[in-house]
């Protein structure tokens, strides 16, 4: 019983805290834990480009349809703060002029919202039926004639016409939910005195060429940091 009381008390303490939904993700222990990392002006930065599978597992929204997702963690120097702004980040295809700044959650949610199904679209269901039986014979109840028995059969087709259901993630509520998810998981902006992490979404064309790499450019205190993403 004491254990149950402890759990109840712990949940009572935690649930109000959970109402304040934290933004971003949990940063790894150090910037070194990220595939690409650097330190500039005392601020360490760790970056990783999520694979489509990782994006699929990390988001309920189908973010793979619109953009590349980069997880970024910033580690300010001790007793100092760092200003985090999405405008400080640029993702560039290595060796080209193709580059993009992070997209906002609202814009992405609008992109990801699927078109609703037209009310004129209908689902048609066809149900064929067949029956086979055997009659032993006797007298026709109407004409009174004697008739022999035999196998009889019948066939028919049932057709049902109805409206089709809405396509997934097409309503305005879905759009708001996607916007909420993308916003809550994105890198929090503002002054940070402790490590922060989150996702940035870049609307760049996807390529299946594995040789293509990307570079993340980050401006910190007027200095440019370039990280090559594997």
Partner 1 sequence: MKSMKTAALCLGFICFFLGNAIGQSATSEVPQTGEVPQTGSAAASQNTQPAPDVKPATKPDTETEEHHHRLHVRLGTIGVGAGHSRFSGPFYSPFWYGFYPYSLSYSPFFYDPFFYSPSYAPGYFGGFAYDVDKGEVKLSGAPKTAEVFLDGAYAGTAGELKNMWLDPGAYDLSVSTPGAMPFHQRIYVLSGKSLKIATKLPQPQSQSEFQPKPQPTTTEEKP
CB of 228 to partner 1, least distance (A): 24
- What minimum distance in Å lies between the beta carbon of 216 and partner 1? 20
Q: Which residue number, 29 or 209, has a Cβ lying nearer to partner 1?
A: 29
Shortest distance, position 169 Cβ to partner 1, whole Å:
4
The residue among 92, 96, 41 whose CA lies nearest residue 70 is 92
> How many Å apart are CA 17 and CA 31, to the nearest integer?
27
Query: Residue 176 CB, nearest distance to partner 1 (Å)?
Result: 8
> Which position has the token pair 């060796």?
95
Return the number of the residue (169 or 204) whose C-beta is nearest partner 1. Answer: 169
Query: Among residues 87 and 154, whose Cβ is nearest to partner 1?
Result: 154
* CA angle centred on 45, ends 43 and 46, rounded to 5°: 155
CA 132/CA 140 separation, integer angstroms: 20
DSSP assigned state of 42: T
* Residues contributing to the site for partner 1 (CB under 8 A): 1, 3-8, 10-12, 14-15, 18-19, 21-22, 25-26, 56-62, 131, 133-139, 141-146, 165-171, 173-174, 176-178, 180-181, 184
Judged by CB, which is closer to partner 1: 90, or 180? 180
Rounded to whole angstroms, the Cα distance separating 32 from 48 reads 11
């Amino acid at each position: 019983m004491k254990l149950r009381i402890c759990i109840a008390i712990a949940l009572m303490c935690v649930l109000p805290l959970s109402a304040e939904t934290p933004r971003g993700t949990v940063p790894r222990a150090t910037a070194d834990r990220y595939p690409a990392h650097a330190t500039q002006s005392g601020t360490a930065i760790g970056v990783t480009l999520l694979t489509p599978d990782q994006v699929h597992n990390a988001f309920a929204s189908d973010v793979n349809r619109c953009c590349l997702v980069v997880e970024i963690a910033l580690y300010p120097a001790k007793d100092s703060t760092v200003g985090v702004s999405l405008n400080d980040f640029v993702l560039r295809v290595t060796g080209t002029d193709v580059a993009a700044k992070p997209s906002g959650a609202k814009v992405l949610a609008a992109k990801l919202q699927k078109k609703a199904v037209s009310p004129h679209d209908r689902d048609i269901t066809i149900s064929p039926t067949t029956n086979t039986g055997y009659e032993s014979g006797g007298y026709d109840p109407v004409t009174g004639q004697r008739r022999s028995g035999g196998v009889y059969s019948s066939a028919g087709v049932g057709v049902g016409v109805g409206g089709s259901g809405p396509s997934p993630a097409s309503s305005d509520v879905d759009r708001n939910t996607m916007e909420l998810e993308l916003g809550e998981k994105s890198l929090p902006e503002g002054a940070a005195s402790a490590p922060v992490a989150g996702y940035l979404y870049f609307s760049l064309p996807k390529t299946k060429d594995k040789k293509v790499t990307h570079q993340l450019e980050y401006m910190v205190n007027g200095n440019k940091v370039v990280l090559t993403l594997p």
